[in-house]
Structure 1
Amino acid sequence: MTDAIATERATREPVLSVSVDYDVGDADDGMIASARAFTADFLAASPAMGREPVARERIDLARLVVSELVTNAVRHAPGPCRLLLELFEDALDISVFDRVETSPVPRGHDPGRIGQHGVEIVVAVCESVSVEPQHPTGKRVKARLALAGTG
């Protein structure tokens, strides 16, 4: 039954979707803040499209995931990146496209390490995280965040 559910989810169309492009070459903390605000505004506006409001906790988690994924693109992928948000009835797919083929790798637990916990955070709060090659070059990092309950 799990395969049927996964197939159904994979073939569904989003209720709403929106994207924004960033030039990582000119990256600064303003770009990451802009991506977080873009995400919050998108989710806050979803009731105007006939949807139930998204809980504040879920908006905050979406902002966190976007921040971590865009930060990875800024730090590790020179060139432009794209943030794509796809809103489904029960989930938000957050995708960041960049120009580097190398996949992000979660590091092992290390309470003494300062920073570099972004992938671990995304994996912990999301239902799923995947990396898809994009041709001719680059990748898509996609995270699915549940909009009800815990991720």
Structure 2
Amino acid sequence: MDASSEDYGGGPGGQSGAASPLEASLALDGDGSRIAQARHLVATFLGKAKDHCGFPIAAATVEIAQLIVSELVTNARKYAPGPALLQLRIRGPMLRIELWDSNPAIPAPHAPDPERIGRHGLEIVAALAHAVTTELTPVGKRITADLDLSPAGA
């Protein structure tokens, strides 16, 4: 997938159906416009996900997902030397947000400091997501944030 591609689909071949997860991805490069494009992808993707989930997704939940994506993409752009890949996937009532980047350093939250400016991205993601995991990959790392989309989770 090139740096300008977006892909919506329910799996291989872009086929969607109740048995397969709804997915979308966006290849990211060093262009700052990708942050806005990633936020737009989330809104569009979650608009399509309403039919897949069988329940409406609250506007506040869409905004939370956009904020999580903004933080992850911003950090990848800022700290990873190469391209990155954003993938969104619906499985049941959960949105899985995955970001692969080329920096093998595992991010760690900083100690609370009310005078610190910036570097709050991981804290924000952890506070908003149901679960956050980070794992090393052969070419960098993958950060995964799960967000509950169900009306009870909103």
TM tier, smaller: 0.7 to 0.9
Trace 1:4-43 onto structure 2 (pairs within 5 A).
Answer: 15-24=21-30, 27-28=31-32, 30-43=33-46
Q: Percent identity?
A: 39
TM-score by length of 1: 0.83
Per-residue deviation at 1:150?
Answer: 4.5
- Give the letter aligned to residue 38 of structure 1: L
CA distance in 2, matches of 1:150, 1:50: 13
Q: Which residue of 2 aligns with 1:146?
A: 148
Q: Which residue of 2 aligns with 1:6?
A: none
Q: Which residue of 1 aligns with 2:95?
A: 92
Cα root mean square deviation, aligned: 1.7
CA distance in 1, matches of 2:53, 2:66: 22
Q: Which residue of 2 aligns with 1:54?
A: 57
TM-score by length of 2: 0.81
CA distance in 1, matches of 2:141, 2:88: 16
Per-residue deviation at 1:43?
Answer: 0.2
The gaps in structure 1 that reach 5 residues or longer are: 1-12
Q: Which residue of 1 aligns with 2:112?
A: 109
Trace 1:57-96 onto structure 2 (pairs within 5 A).
Answer: 57-96=60-99
| Deviation by residue 1:56-90 (Cα, 9 ceiling, x = unmatched) | 11100000000000011000001110000011221
Partner of residue 134 from structure 2, selected from 124, 128, 131: 131
The gaps in structure 2 that reach 5 residues or longer are: 1-18
| Deviation by residue 1:33-75 (Cα, 9 ceiling, x = unmatched) | 1101111110012234463221111100000000000011000
> Does structure 2 conserve the Cα–Cα contact (< 8 Å) formed by 1:86 and 1:94?
yes
> Does structure 1 conserve the Cα–Cα contact (< 8 Å) formed by 2:85 and 2:99?
yes
| Deviation by residue 1:124-146 (Cα, 9 ceiling, x = unmatched) | 111111112111x2110001111
